[in-house]
Structure 1
Amino acid sequence: MVDEITDFEVLEIALRELCIEKGIFTAEEHRHFTEFAEQIGPTPAARLVARAWLDPTFRQLAVTDAMAASREVGVDWMEPTGFGTPSDFTAFEILEDTPTLHHVIVCTLCSCYPRPILGNSPEWYRTPNYRRRLVRWPRQVLAEFGLVVPEDIAVRVQDSNQKHRFMVMPVRPDGTEGWTEDQLAEIITRDCLIGVALPTPGVTTNVITDTRPAIHPASSAAAEGAS
């Protein structure tokens, strides 16, 4: 097993065992939900964006009623498991990028994330390093992911919270004219939907290979001043 567990893990075990003992849910139901949550991925979200790129009417639905657009790609936020998960029923919004505006999402409070349509959040999304630094130095953090945003494009950081979830609809890249929905969905990765990457023809994985080490902006400025 493991050498030690965190206080949060102890709390989860105690609460889970108490709920089973009180009959709030069974061990089988808990297993069912856990397996469901672990297999959710960003494929429906990628298909949603691909469809929006191709269909202006659906694109309008996505930015005005993200819940309805989610149902069109098979994700029902009301009943994502078949037996309900009230904590995931929130105000969901799709943030549309433009040629002059780039969105990126974060949760500075903890790790709020649109799980029903994007699956479980990546580990780095939950780290204090990402959560604290993105809101202060978004361009530098994005550059560390390999995404250098030109100065003429504004960067808007959207902070999620307990009742509001967000997803990014990136700009359709050049070179995809005439592509089908399936072809477009393949290049829309999870990181594109968070806003730390851009869809690129030929890139169909979430593995980030071009990264730069984190440098504290204050330290960087001091070094430049000294020189």
Structure 2
Amino acid sequence: MSADPVILMYHSVEPYTEDPYRVTVRPERFDRQLRWLRRRGLRGVSMRELRAATDPRGLVGLTFDDGYADFVTRVVPALRRYGFTATVYVVVGALGGDNAWDADGPRKPLMTAADARRVAQDGIEVGSHSLTHRRLSTVDAAGVEDEIGASRVALERIVGGPVEGFCYPYGDAADREVAMAARAGYAYACAVGARAFAGPHALPRTYIGDRDSSPRLYAKWLRHRIHGGVR
């Protein structure tokens, strides 16, 4: 059995008709997923709270990649209804823009800088998801330093406080990227799927999508507990 706490990875929560990248969960499905956690005596929390807990039993990390605008309009109200919180990872250089990296999918608006500052002031943890959402393995060393390190400096100015967490775009992380996240001063970094590297800068997460009904959630929960993360 894995000793890693369960960390769930979401992206967008809104109604949709087209979603080729499977990044969107319908609001009614999201509500049922949160209800499933509560029925099991679990509480969704930010990575900051999860890491600070002396006994993380009963806590589940809730993370949201890309920083879609619907995090503010749909996710935060749903979390409040259940007494949960979460961490949102924003693409710092794209705040106020859209998900241009999803070339074949519908354009989704992203949170603005003001949104990021507001949710941080309201107690939501805001982490970096890089400057431009590039696959870091394709970027030279100087570029990786900007994507990881410079994004943290810029985001701290925006939210007016420390930024402790980083999330690798596409989960694309090898030794170089993991080492850079540590050198840049992040307390932790999130990957995708099962753990490939030891340490706090490649934490495994389990992807959650719109098809994840209660039976699928339970199966993923067990697999995460055993293997440390599910793609």
TM-score range, shorter chain: under 0.3
More strand by share: 2
TM-score of the superposed pair, with normalisation by structure 1: 0.26
Higher helix fraction (1 or 2): 1
Larger Rg: 1
